[in-house]
Chains A and B, each alone.
Chain A
């Protein structure tokens, strides 16, 4: 845990972070809003004492009641991974600015996130499905998309769910059966 990084982030982005800077093991985590995302990412990338030049990962998350986009960054200035979580995207219309201006290599990662979650990255020049066929209509990694044989949350949960092929009683087309606390 890099305490100095935490201080730097708290003073530099004072008032722009949603919630406190969190640290666990070798990870530092900040939550930002979609409106400030590009500005904060530019600062993280460009400023000499931050210098987060390597985009290690970009992941979409459907928490069950909202969408998130998570970025993992690496910098030579700190021994920690930095996790930037863009928080609070509404599930019915998730939109977030694209980071392809900063890292053109994020293009496919954003396409993948769009393909799996339906999150729209505004400014990505080529936001189309990447894995699923063009006529595919749903977003498979959303929490209201569940496998036909998934009865993991059913009353028998904990035993081998692959053996249970019935659809759980509470399953309705848009039901989210699993949520996670976001902060």
Chain B
């Protein structure tokens, strides 16, 4: 080869060879930085026949902005690497720089589907720091609104689940149900999504006539409508076949992966914070903890069906709340500026997606020194990496949707 051959022939921009010559269209490496851990190095090295498929961060069925790097061999997923952080807002840091009352609105957009629960855990932790007793009426209102939101969240889950599997109709019915619930919550909170309703020592507003009439109207047909919505999906053969047998989680795996919520109960572990570590007025209420998959673990269908069981229990709780609702104040008497004594407190509630916890440290000022938020979706999301191996790409969405992640909570 002579030296002159090293010179590239002149290419005009319309020359078809321009895309074939040289290194155009080739990456130096994926990802474009040296691997930071052995696991990353192992994941990003391809064996024969394997390739990467980047899903997201704008994939519509990732329940937020999640990116998943799939390593695939043909139609099979060999391994996957979820990449988080596209929604990270640094809420914990913001909370450490906000006073105690302000935090309630800071944490609202975390898990935007059931944001009363994101308020409930911090508020409970601060009440522990301050040694406040919440009036019973306020506790009943919290349980009532919380369970309403649980029903709406599970309804939305049902719709998303179907949407991820290609069914368009159920989400429309889910949103009818959700809309009725957020409308009645809007009557007392003024908001449809980020309620900012719970307060340290109580709740922001009492139940009013509009809420009660909407609730009464809805309760008279809620169970029937729920059964109708169930029939839409549960009797659909394609849906059931695609869900059954994939993403099996057994008791041991669920405990080891620190999973909580419906996902652990669908694996045969009856862990529900409402019963396991009772808070608020749940000890006074009569309801069951549905458990599925106790023989050999639960699959995606079990996780789906378990949430439907939970809706029925929630309706039972709402009914009892309405019958037992005591009279009295809705706020404890507290100063405007809160300065709890130095100390630590941990409080956890059972959110629709699992244990939602807050760990707060007070240093005696009006802002928490440290506030850690534990979001169940964050932990549950880890299961995807375990469950997807050797499954089909198309099943990734079915498994992921059955775990019910909300990226707002995962990314904090």
Contacts and interface: CB of A to CB of B under 8 A. Distances in A.
Interface in A33-52: none
Interface in A127-183: 127-135, 140-141, 146-147, 150, 152, 157-158, 161, 178-181
B16 interface: no
B36 A128 contact: yes
Nearest to A99: B258
Interface stretch (A3-11, A13-21, A71-79, A88-96): A71-79
Contact of A74 (B38, B128, B277, B363): B277
B258 A134 contact: no
Contacts of A107: 382
A53 B255 contact: yes
A56 B348 contact: yes
Contacts of A116: 92
Given A56-B260, A81-B277, A141-B93, 20 more contacts: A25-B128, A25-B345, A27-B344, A53-B255, A54-B255, A57-B348, A59-B359, A59-B370, A81-B348, A107-B382, A108-B379, A116-B92, A125-B37, A126-B40, A128-B36, A129-B85, A132-B85, A150-B97, A152-B367, A178-B365
Interface of A: 24-27, 29, 53-57, 59-62, 70, 72, 74, 76, 79, 81, 83, 102-109, 112, 116, 125-135, 140-141, 146-147, 150, 152, 157-158, 161, 178-181
Interface of B: 31, 33, 36-40, 84-85, 88, 90, 92-93, 96-97, 128, 255-260, 271, 276-277, 337, 342-346, 348, 355, 357, 359, 361, 363, 365-367, 369-370, 372, 374, 378-379, 381-382, 411-412
28 contacts: A26-B277, A27-B344, A27-B346, A54-B258, A56-B348, A57-B348, A59-B372, A61-B361, A61-B372, A70-B359, A70-B372, A72-B359, A79-B277, A81-B277, A104-B256, A105-B256, A106-B258, A108-B381, A109-B379, A128-B36, A128-B37, A129-B36, A130-B84, A132-B85, A132-B88, A135-B33, A180-B342, A181-B342
